[in-house]
Structure 1
Amino acid sequence: MKNGFGCRLVSAVCALALLAALLPTAAFAAEPDTAAAPQTLTAAQVQDMQQADTAVTALTGSDDYAGMTQAQRTDAALDQLEQLVDEGLVAKGSIYADEENGMVSFAYTCGALGGILTDLDEENDTVAFPSGEALDRLAADASGNGTLGSAAIYYAFDNTVNSTRYPYYAYMQTYWTSQGLDTTLNTRVTLSDLRRMGRYDVCVLSTHGAYYTYEYGWLWKKTATEPLILLTEQSNFWSDFRYGLDLLSHRVVKINGMYAATGAFFRSAYRGSGIVLSETCEFYGKNGHVDTSIADGLLAGGAKAVAGYVNNVYSVYSRSMLWDMVNRMIAGDTLEQAADDAKETYGTDDIIWYSSQGGRRPHAAASYLMLSGDHTVRLPGVSAAAPAEQQAA
C-alpha cells in the first residue's frame, strides 16, 4: 500500500511538472498579481516586443486603417494579433476586443500588456479665450500676489504640428507665467518626465485617455479594467529595457506601440505635494464604473489634490474649465472655489456646454469634473496672502 501510494504521488508530481513545462509562460505572466513576476526584460523579449510593435504600428499608422469604420478596425486588429500569436509574439488567449471602449487588448509573450485603439473619433472644435475686460479683471485680481509657485503642462495630445490645440496651451503658459505662476510647457512627454512631476506645485495632464479592459488567467478567465494616460512616447528597444519593470508589473501598457501610464505607475512614481489637474478622457473611469485608481496613486505619493473627468470629455470643455480654474486659483481661490466658478461659467457637465454652443448630437454620456484630496488647497504663493473672507470660506 505504501509503495503504491508513493508511486502514485511521484506520477502526479511528474505530470504537474510536465504540464508546467508545456504551458506557455505568458499564461501565468498575464496574471496581474503574480508574486514571482520577473524583474527585468531580456534582450530576446524586447526584440520580440519590438517585432510585434512594428506590425501593430504598420497597421495603426496606415491610411487604410484611418479610413475604416470602428468595426472594420476591430476586425483588422484581431486579424493582425492572431497572426502575431502564430508567430509567437503575442500570448495565445490574451486577445480581448472591447468595442464599447474602442480598444483591443493583448499580452506580449513576456507578460507585458499592449493594446490597439479602434475608436479614433475626435472633435476639434475651437473656442477663443477671454480677452479685453475679462483678462484685465483676472490680471487685477492676481496683482500683488508675487511669485505664486511653479506649474507644468504635460501636453501629449499631438506633436504640435498643424495642431488646433497647441496654440491655446502656449498661450496658457505665457499668460500664467506673466501672472506669477511660473509655467513650463512640455510637448515631448515621456514616462521619465512623469516621474518628475513632484517638483511642480501644479501639474496639468493634457493628454488623451482611454479605458483599458483585458482578460487574464488560465483555467478561469477574469476581466480587469483601468483608465490609462496615453502618451506619444514611441517605444524602442532601449526604452523597453529602461521601463522593463514597469511593463512587466503592468504599471505601464503599450497602446499602438506607445507608452501609457496606469494608476499603479503614479503610485510608484509620484513623489510631491502639488495639485494635479487632468484633462484626459475617463481619468475617473465612466458611469457605472467610476475608477479613482490614478487619483489614489497620486494622493498616495503626496499630491494635495487631484481633479479630472468621468467619461469621455469634450476637449474644448475641459480646456475651458482648466483655463478658468487656474486663473481663479491665481486670483486666490481654493481649488473647490475655482472649480465652482468654472462650472458656473461653462456648465456642470460637458453636454450642458455642448448644448449651449448649439450642438445637436451630444455624445452618449455627460462628462463631469471630480475632485479628490484637499478641496481647500490654494497655490502656495497665495495661501498665506488670501483675503480674510476667502480664508474663512
Structure 2
Amino acid sequence: MKKTIYTIAILLSSAVYAHAQTAIKETRENIADLFIVGENLVLYTIKEKDGQYLYSERKGDQSTFKKETSLNGGAVNALIGSSAGGNEVYVYQKTGRKDHKIVIYRWDGASFQKAGEKPFPKIKNNSYNLGAYLSPDQNTLFMAADLGRTKGYDDIYLSKWEGGKWSKPTGLGTPPNTREAEFSPYVMNDSLFFSRKSGDQASVYSMPIGGGSKPTGEAVKFSTRVNRENAFNSAYKRLGENEMWITRTADGNYTAYVNGPDPVVSKVELEPAPEPVAIEPAAVPVPTTLTVSYGFNEVYMTDAAAAELDGFLAQLPDGASLWVKGYSDNIGPAKGKVRVAQQRARLLQKYIEMKHRQRSFKFETQSEVLGSRGPEARKVEIHLHAR
C-alpha cells in the first residue's frame, strides 16, 4: 500500500526546534551571571557594595529568591562551571587579597553540599574584574583578566591542570582578544562564547576552538536575538537546547533571559487514514478575554500561565488588537504597587512581542492599583478589541 506523508505536531528528540525567548527576571540589582541547576533552580551572581554573592530562586517563582549561604564562602563568589551531569557546581571563592580557590558543591535537589576543593592559579590580575570558566572534567580553565601584555584591556587566558597544578595562564591571541575588553568566557563542545565591551555597551560573540582549547576560526557576533542594541549583553551560556544571558539597558535595568525549545510541526510517514466523511464544521467562537494570575509581588508569569496565554493567542487572528491591563492589590508602598501593576502589563506585552512576533499583534496597555487585597487583585487582563 502506498504511504502518504501527513504533517502532525509532535515532540521528539530529533524534531526541529524554534526557540522561545523568556525574560525570567528584571531587576536593578547588579546581576553579573546566571546559571540553571537541575530542572528549574536558577543561580544568580550579584555584585553588592561589600562583595559578590550567589543567590537562587525557582524558575518562575520569584518569591523563592534567597542568598545561597552554603555557596558564599568568600567576599567574592562566582559560579564558574558544572559537572557534565549538572549535579555538581564549581564556585570561585576569594577570601583575601591573595587567597582564592575553587570549591565543588553537589546539588541533591534540595540543597548544596560541599564535595571538594581545588586551587585557583596564582595570578597577578591588573584588572578590577575577573571571570572564569572551568570545564566539566576540571582540567581546563579559561580566565578573563589583565595579566600583563594584553591586547587592550581584559583578555581571555587558558590554563591546564597538569601534574597536580595549573599551568601558567597564556593568552588565546587574536582572536578572540582585541584592543577592547573580552570577558564572560564559557565553553560548550567545540565553541567558545564570550562578551566584548565597547564603551558602555557589550555584545556576545562565539568562535570555534580545537581539541587543545585553542581558537580555530574567527569570532562571530550574535544576532539581535541575543545582542539587544544600545545595551550591555553578557554572560551567555548554552546548555543543550537552552540558552541564557543578561542584558543591561541604559536605564540601569538588568534582564535575565532563558531561550528554550518549543516543539514545532514535524513530518512523519504514516499509513493513510480512511477518507473522512465530510461534516460541516460548527462555528467555534473566538475567545475575547483572558485573565492571568500572579503571586504576591510577582511580575512574571508561571510556565502554566504562559502556556494558557499561548493557547489563547493561538485562537486569535493575526494582527488582532489587544487591550492589556495590569493590576496590583492594595498591599505595600504606593510607588511599589504602581510599579508592580505596570510591570505585569509591560512584561506580558514583551512576552507576546518576543514569542509571537510574527503574529503582528497591536497593543493598548494600562495599569491600575485596586482597593482590594488578595490573589483576585493580582492579575493581568487581556481583551480582544472588536474591529
TM-score, length-scaled by structure 2: 0.24
When the two structures are superposed, what TM-score results if normalisation uses the length of structure 1?
A: 0.24
Judging by fraction of residues, say which structure has more strand.
2
Question: In proportion to residue count, which structure has more helix?
Answer: 1
